[in-house]
Structure 1
Amino acid sequence: MKKSLIALAVLAASGAAMAQSSVTLFGIVDTAFGYVDNANAAGDSVYGLSTSGNATSRLGFRGVEDLGGGLKAGFWLEGEIFGDDGNSKGFNFQRRSTVSLAGGFGEVRLGRDLTPGFSKFISYDLFGQVGIGQFMGWSNWYGTSGDANGIRSSNMISYYTPNFSGFTAGLGYGFDEQTSGKAGRYVGGYVAYENGPLGVVVSYDQRNLAADVDRNALTVAGSYNLNVVKLNAIVQQTKDDVPGASDRKVNAYALGASAPIGAGEVKAQYALYDQKAIDSKAHQISLGYVHNLSKRTALYGTVAYLKNKDASNLGLAARNLSTGGPGAGENQTGVQLGIRHSF
């Protein structure tokens, strides 16, 4: 009898603990037909299936445990899915792999994650930093390795504040984990005000790339929702400090507008990339439409045109299509038609 009572007590305690914990499987599959002309300096075109044209395809697991007293522990593991070839190069959790503690003080995360300086700006790009229409200010401008585009950092500890009447902030530090040198080190953060129709965010990032080359990025963005149309703007300056050489600077700008139409949304965005190091500019015009078939499924289409001037050789960001640069001073046009499903 006593053993039965003890067993029932253990099961009851276990059930209570399980009720306070949760693990969720989630993901997005986004695959599109894509076409890009002038995909290389020879003027060749490329077409086929591309991925992540409207949202990054992903598979992930996240969980949270209520520790009591307002304190929660959590984890987040997320990797990218390539629906066109089934991840022929393998699957990993390089999109995000963090463990965290959260409470009234905010949230502290440990692991690989989006940098705080970038994370807040995804919504200020009308194309969500994906597909051929995206704003390309966060680019690996001069071919350095690693996470030189500043979007993510490994070995990072980050802190995010609670929301104070629309004000939030985030700060992150990525360790280089080397006995000498500091290549791979990251430090950055943001301050934002988002309340009602108005949103404004400012961030600063510094990343040590290699051989004492430091990349600094200052970004300011804003948006205002007029209900019938939403306006957005981004201003960014990225600068590489190279020993014994002049600074390599890029000023990037974006202006856009989006509007709901029935079950969908139409959007248009203009971007300018002023590459000071080569005294050249590139202009990008992107048009897109997303039609929601349900809360989880949508059809979309995007057309983008990139006009390079002088020595500029930028290419549109069409994932899994070998776009490259069209050649100095040459133009490029791209199209993506796809379907996105989330679960």
Structure 2
Amino acid sequence: MKKSLIALAVLAASGAAMAQSSVTLFGIVDTGVSYVNNATGDVNKYGVHTSGNQTSRLGLRGTEDLGGGLKAGFWLEGELGTDIGAGSGATGPLDFKRESTVRLSGNFGEVRLGRETTPTFRAGSKYDLFSSTGVGQFYGYKAWNGTVGAAYGADDNTIRANNMVSYSSPNFSGFTANLSYAFDEKQGLNKTGRYAGGNVGYDNGPLSVTAAYGSLSGGTGDRDEFSVGAGYNFGVAKVVGLAQQVKYKSDVLGVSSAKYNNYLLGVSAPVGGVGEVKAQYAFYDQQGDAKAHQVSLGYVHNLSKRTALYGTVAYLKNQKGSQMSLNAKNVNNNVDTRTNLSGVTTGANQTGVQVGIRHAF
């Protein structure tokens, strides 16, 4: 009898522990139709895209309450190419390269280990009205320098980093901070792949302000990035702005350093309690005289809390050697190049249109 009572007590305790744990399957399916003109070969491209409004993804996340305010958790998230049923947004199998972390949180904040987005990318993307995807997105985080940047590998745009340890502070009356360090793990010369960065922000009521700095080491030099963003919600409309600078410091004889300044200004407004209209302007001041201007207009109509219809129109004007392009994922990410009257090869101007449906679960 006594043994039975002990067994019941153990089972009860186990059930209580299980009740304090949770695992959630989540994701976004975003698919639509795109059109982009002046692609490579002076052709117009159109077809079914993925990730026009938000990146399509599939993930698992979980938490366990350890007691005393301490929690353990994990986050596994991979991109989906919903137009062709593939992982990684293209043709590969499903992986967890969007995020793969284990975490520990409490009154001290949160510590994460694994692969995830960098604090510099998170700080900037929160002010992009087009959620860093689709033809309307802000392209300030592209791998700008093909010569120096090639040494950094697949993450030379510093959107994400492998082998990272990050710390996020608690919220102090709206103030937060994040510090992250990604180990190079001796993958190459000059600590290739090592990233160190952080951000500080203030989000309280209608006001949001964030500053961030990060540095990525490569075999031929360093990529340094600094940004300051802000937003204010007036109720009838929200205004956002961002200034970003990306520097490549070359350590290779004969390879010059480079500096890129990128700017964003946008406004969005609710429509009828179920929709949102948004407009965004971006200016990309590239190495030398190359410059590009981008205007993006969009509308999102919420059919429910989880499902929305959207439409986006974007225009990109390349000048003096700029060869930027609009990215309609799995439809177009290139631009036709031409020689102008001054003999400089430059990218053609592009117009992109996307309509689609987004469902979250």
Considering the TM-score relative to the shorter chain, is it more than 0.5?
Answer: yes
Q: Deviations over 1:79-107 (max 9, x none)?
A: 01111010142110000000011000000
The corresponding residue for 1:219 is 227
In 1: Cα distance, 2:130 partner to 2:53 partner:
7
Deviation, structure 1 residue 153: 0.4
Specify every segment of 5 or more residues in structure 2 that has no aligned partner in the other structure, as ranges: 338-345
**How far is 1:4 from its partner?**
2.5
**Residue matched to 2:342:** none
Separation of aligned partners in 2, 1:141 and 1:309:
16
SS in 2 for 1:12: helix
CA distance in 1, matches of 2:295, 2:62: 40
Q: Please say if 1:291 is aligned against 2:290.
A: no
For the Cα contact (< 8 Å) 1:314–1:326, is it kept in 2? no
Q: Which residue of 1 aligns with 2:210?
A: 201
Deviation per CA, 1:42-101: give whole Å up to 9, x if none. Answer: 211111111111111111000001111111000000001111010142110000000011
* SS of residue matched to 2:199: strand
Corresponding residue for residue 50 of structure 2: 51
The amino acid of 1:198's aligned partner reads: L
Q: Quick one: distance in 2 between partners of 1:68 and 1:100?
A: 15
Contact 2:117 2:159 in 1 (8 A): yes
Q: Does 1:253 align with 2:263?
A: yes
Shift of 1:179: 6.6
The match for 2:178 is 170
- Alpha-carbon distance between aligned partners in 1 of 2:215 and 2:154, rounded to the nearest angstrom: 14
Distance in 1 (alpha carbons) for counterparts of 2:162 and 2:92: 20
1:247-288 deviation per Cα after TM superposition (whole angstroms, max 9, x unaligned): 21110001110000011000000000000x242100000000
Q: Percent identity?
A: 60
1:340 aligns with 2:348: no
- Residue 100 (structure 2) pairs with residue 92 (structure 1): no
Alignment size in residue pairs: 340
Contact in 2 for aligned 1:51/1:84 (Cα 8 Å): yes
2:145 aligned partner: 142
1:100-152 CA distance string (max 9 Å, x none): 11000000000000011221332211111111101100001123232011110
Quote how far apart the aligned CAs of 1:319 are. 1.0
Question: What CA distance in whole angstroms lies between the structure 1 residues aligned with 2:7 and 2:166?
Answer: 42
How is 1:263-274 mapped onto 2 (pairs within 5 angstroms)? 263-274=274-285
Question: Hey, what does 1:39 align to over in structure 2?
Answer: 39
In structure 1, what is the Cα distance between the partners aligned to 2:310 and 2:293? Answer: 23
Pick from 326, 334, 344: which aligns with 1:324?
334
Structure 1: runs of 5+ lacking an equivalent: none
TM-score calculated relative to the size of structure 2: 0.92
Q: Secondary structure at the match of 1:255?
A: strand
User: Any idea what SS the aligned residue of 1:299 has?
Assistant: strand
Q: TM-score, normalised by structure 1?
A: 0.97
Distance 1:163 1:179 in 2: 36
Instruction: Find the aligned partners of 2:186 and 2:25 in 1 and give their Cα distance.
Output: 35
Contact 2:209 2:230 in 1 (8 A): yes
Q: Report what 2:248 is aligned to.
A: 240
1:105-144 alignment, distance < 5 Å: 105-143=108-146, 144=150
- The alignment yields a C-alpha RMSD, in angstroms, of 1.2
- Is 1:6 the counterpart of 2:6? The answer is yes
Partners of 2:68 and 2:120 in 1: CA distance: 30
